[in-house]
Amino acid sequence: MSPQTTQHLPFPNTRIAVVSITRHGIALAGRVIAALPGATLFAPQKFGIEAEAAAPGAFACYEGKVGDQVPALFAGFDGIVAIVSLGAVVRLVAPHLKNKETDPGVVVLDEAGRWAIPVLSGHLGGANAIAGVLQQAVGATPVLTTASDARETLAVDLLGRELGWIFEASHDEIVRASAAVVNDEPVALVQEAGSTDWWSRHANGRSGPLPANIQRFERLEDVDPERFGAVLWISHRPLPASYAGRLTGKRVIYRPSAPEAA
């Protein structure tokens, strides 16, 4: 993987669980654990010897069914790598899903280490980023189906995350702005604060030019909101009252950490 696509996980390695239910999968899990120091391997008790060999000091064995472990994994970890079939993982996690803001990122890795498939919470949950780490660790090809990643365009809900920015927007506003970006609608991106080094470090690491449908501005007052499907505003300022109504439903505000070099 090139330097431009180095992954930045949104949580520490200690918040990642690697789950495997077969001997071959446990051996592969050991390589994953080695690439993610602090991660924990979960395996059936009957494979305790194999688990200890694969991840000494970084494993936990359970009795019973793997499905019985899902509630604790969802509660205790931000990211889950499952070396289990895709269909089985879908059935296992389905009863426990809540929303994209709180569900952990779940990635399925096949036993041959060929494919890393984000199944749940690709963006906010970090599953796409985990898949990128697995590419570096074991050579698995990430299978990214989120539109912004497939087209290598801007991911609205990840902009500036690696720089410590936080965003202010409702779920509906994120959905609308994301749709505007991937559907090539005109999008205004206004940057009044924060580091300008956010594109190459953004999401999965973009190396190409900013998409043509995204127009950059230096001040919010330079934007005619009616001309744009979404307005992305990076600033420390309160939203001017004169713009509040005009931006209703289609703005995402990003707040960089202060102080921060522009």
Give the residue-averaged pLDDT of 27-46.
Answer: 95
pLDDT category at 260 given cuts 50, 70, 90 is very low
Q: How many other CB atoms are found less than 10 A from the CB of residue 59? A: 23
pLDDT category at 125 given cuts 50, 70, 90 is confident
Using one digit for the tens of pLDDT, what is the confidence trace for 149-196? Answer: 777 788 898 888 888 899 999 989 999 999 999 999 999 999 999 988
| Long-range Cβ contact pairs of 214-217 (< 8 A, separation 24 or more) | 214/154, 214/181, 214/187, 214/188, 214/189, 215/186, 215/187, 215/188, 215/189, 216/189, 216/190, 216/191, 217/188, 217/189, 217/190, 217/191
Does residue 247 surpass a pLDDT of 90? yes
Q: For residue 217, what pLDDT is reported?
A: 97
CATH fit for domain 3-145, picks 1.10.760.10, 3.40.50.11220, 1.10.4160.10, 3.50.50.60:
3.40.50.11220
> Residues spanned by CATH 3.40.50.11220 within the chain?
3-145
pLDDT category at 205 given cuts 50, 70, 90 is low
Taking the CA of residue 243 as centre, how many other CA atoms within 13 Å lie in the half-sphere pointing to its CB?
A: 19
Q: For residue 162, what pLDDT is reported?
A: 80
DSSP state of 176: H
